[in-house]
């Protein structure tokens, strides 16, 4: 599907818990479509000159969530060409972010079982919310807390457990084209 007509695609926004594959799938979608790839966490790090764990430690989670909202507003105002957007796992916590995400484009929730997430990220040291004695319990809590927000925000939910990256990308691209055609 390389070189697919990117003009037929809306912005594709990937949401889901940390470790669900947003960056991996986002980069694959970028390769398949040649659309630009944007990671909201990387934008925040570039704008602040700080890594996400530092922002959490120095300024707290609420400040970080403010930064996420600002990034979404900037992306909406700067939207001239469609792109692939990978978001932080908690971006859907705030109601205004959920609205901004839906206005920004086609939102895809990459849903992944907590046990699989834990296997993927159990050794990561750059996940501020997991720096706890029982990170798996934290993941379970986050999934329970955010599940309805992900569901409310997403135009499409994909359970990534038994799918190959190419199958996921293909499904997203086909669904995004249908989404775009219904909006025109």
Sequence-separated contacts (24+) of 164-167 with Cβ below 8 Å = 165/21, 165/24, 165/25, 165/28, 166/28
The answer to whether 183 is annotated as binding is no
Q: Tell me whether residue 125 is in a domain.
A: yes
Q: How far apart, in Å, are the Cα atoms of 182 and each of 6, 9, 164, 175? A: 16, 12, 28, 11
Q: In this model, does residue 45 exceed pLDDT 80?
A: yes
**pLDDT tens digits for range 50-81:** 999 899 999 999 999 999 999 999 999 986 78
The answer to whether 27 is annotated as binding is no
The answer to whether 21 is annotated as binding is yes
Q: Tell me whether residue 184 is in a domain.
A: no
Question: Which CATH number do you get for residue 135?
Answer: 3.40.50.300
The answer to whether 24 is annotated as binding is yes
Q: Tell me whether residue 119 is in a domain.
A: yes
Q: What is the pLDDT of residue 133?
A: 75
The answer to whether 19 is annotated as binding is yes
From the CA atom positions of the chain, what is the Rg in Å?
Answer: 16
Share of the chain above pLDDT 70, in %: 90
* Domain ranges, residue 83: 6-176
Q: Tell me whether residue 137 is in a domain.
A: yes
Q: Tell me whether residue 59 is in a domain.
A: yes
Count how many domains the chain has: 1
Q: What is the pLDDT of residue 24?
A: 94
pLDDT band at 106 (very low <50, low <70, confident <90, very high): very high
Q: Which residue has the higher pLDDT, 161 or 123?
A: 161
Choose among 31, 9, 11, 15: nearest CA to 105: 11
The answer to whether 94 is annotated as binding is no
Q: What is the pLDDT of residue 184?
A: 63
DSSP letters along 12-65, please?
EEEE-STTSSHHHHHHHHHHHH--EEEEHHHHHHHHHTS-HHHHHHHH-HHHHH
Strand partners, 15: 109
Q: Tell me whether residue 1 is in a domain.
A: no
pLDDT band at 130 (very low <50, low <70, confident <90, very high): low
Q: Tell me whether residue 183 is in a domain.
A: no
The answer to whether 127 is annotated as binding is yes
Give the global pTM.
0.91
Q: What is the pLDDT of residue 16?
A: 97
The answer to whether 20 is annotated as binding is yes
The answer to whether 65 is annotated as binding is yes
Q: Tell me whether residue 122 is in a domain.
A: yes
């Amino acid at each position: 599907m390389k070189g697919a007509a990117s003009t037929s695609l809306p912005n594709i926004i990937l949401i889901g818990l940390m470790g669900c594959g947003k960056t991996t799938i986002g980069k694959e979608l970028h390769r398949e479509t040649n659309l630009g790839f944007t990671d909201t966490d990387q934008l925040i790090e570039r704008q602040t000159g700080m890594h996400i764990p530092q922002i959490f430690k120095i300024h707290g989670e609420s400040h970080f969530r403010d930064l996420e909202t600002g990034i979404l507003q900037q992306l909406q105002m700067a939207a001239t060409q469609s792109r692939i957007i990978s978001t932080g796992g908690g971006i859907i916590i705030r109601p205004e972010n959920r609205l901004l995400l839906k206005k920004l484009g086609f939102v895809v929730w990459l849903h992944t079982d907590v046990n699989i997430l834990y296997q993927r990220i159990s050794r990561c040291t750059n996940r501020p919310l997991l720096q706890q004695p029982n990170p798996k319990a934290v993941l379970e809590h986050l999934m329970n807390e955010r599940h309805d927000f992900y569901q409310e925000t997403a135009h499409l939910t994909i359970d990534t457990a038994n799918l190959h990256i190419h199958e996921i990308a293909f499904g997203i691209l086909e669904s995004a084209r249908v989404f775009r055609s219904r909006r025109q």
